[in-house]
Amino acid sequence: MQAETVSGAELGQLVASLVMAQKETDRQQKQTERLFKANARQFKETDRRLNELAGMFGDQIGRLAEAIVEPACLRLFRERGIAVTHTMQRAESAVAGAEMEIDGLLANGTEVVAVEVKLSLGVRDVNRYLERLGLFRQAFPQFRNHVLYGAVAGLHSRPEVRRYAARKGLLVLRPSGSMMEMANAPNYRPKRF
């Protein structure tokens, strides 16, 4: 095999070409880094906007679920012997240490029913709600001397979740056709919280 000889001029041109190619590569790399940074900023802004929209959408879905459940509550609790006379949607408390929102409150002079409404009701929702019910009297002192009942409603809930909620002493509402119905057995006695 015969080695080719390269003249000094050719070697100089080759080195100059390599230096130019390296500079072009460096320029392209810096441009690519700038594009990645710009894309990262755009992705972050897009994520922020999507999260904002998801929050707004979720809130509207929640309000829709509450609007479906609320009209039936007065009738359903009266049918169960809880003679409620007043209803409040989205009752809020700002009492320190017991801040909360209750989707629906139904009351009379001696009893109050606190209703949690979920689009899809799960065991975790039931457990969280039970924790909040433990702070209810602190959050709403005007009902301190009332008998307190808890109720959950899910536009979608599995039978085992409804049974779990009932075992925990909650009244359980579920959709039935175009209206809501009580999922508990007719002789079911809810827990007094």
Instruction: Please name each of the domains of the chain with its CATH number.
Output: 71-182 (3.40.1350.10)
Query: Which tens digit of pLDDT belongs to each residue from 138-173?
Result: 999 999 999 999 999 988 889 999 999 999 999 999
Q: Which two tokens stand for residue 119?
A: 């689009």
pTM, rounded to two decimals: 0.64
Assess contact for 167 and 130: CB atoms under 8 A. Answer: no
Query: Which tens digit of pLDDT belongs to each residue from 73-123?
Result: 888 899 899 999 988 888 999 999 989 999 999 999 999 999 999 988 999
Taking all residues of the chain, what is their mean pLDDT, rounded to a whole number? 84
Tokens 């679920």 locate to 65
Up-side HSE of residue 180: CA atoms within 13 Å toward CB? 28
Give the whole-angstrom CA distance, residue 87 versus residue 89. 7
Q: How many CB atoms lie within 10 A of CB 67?
A: 11
Residue 160 is predicted with a pLDDT of 96
Query: Which tens digit of pLDDT belongs to each residue from 46-82?
Result: 667 656 655 566 566 667 667 677 778 888 899 899 9
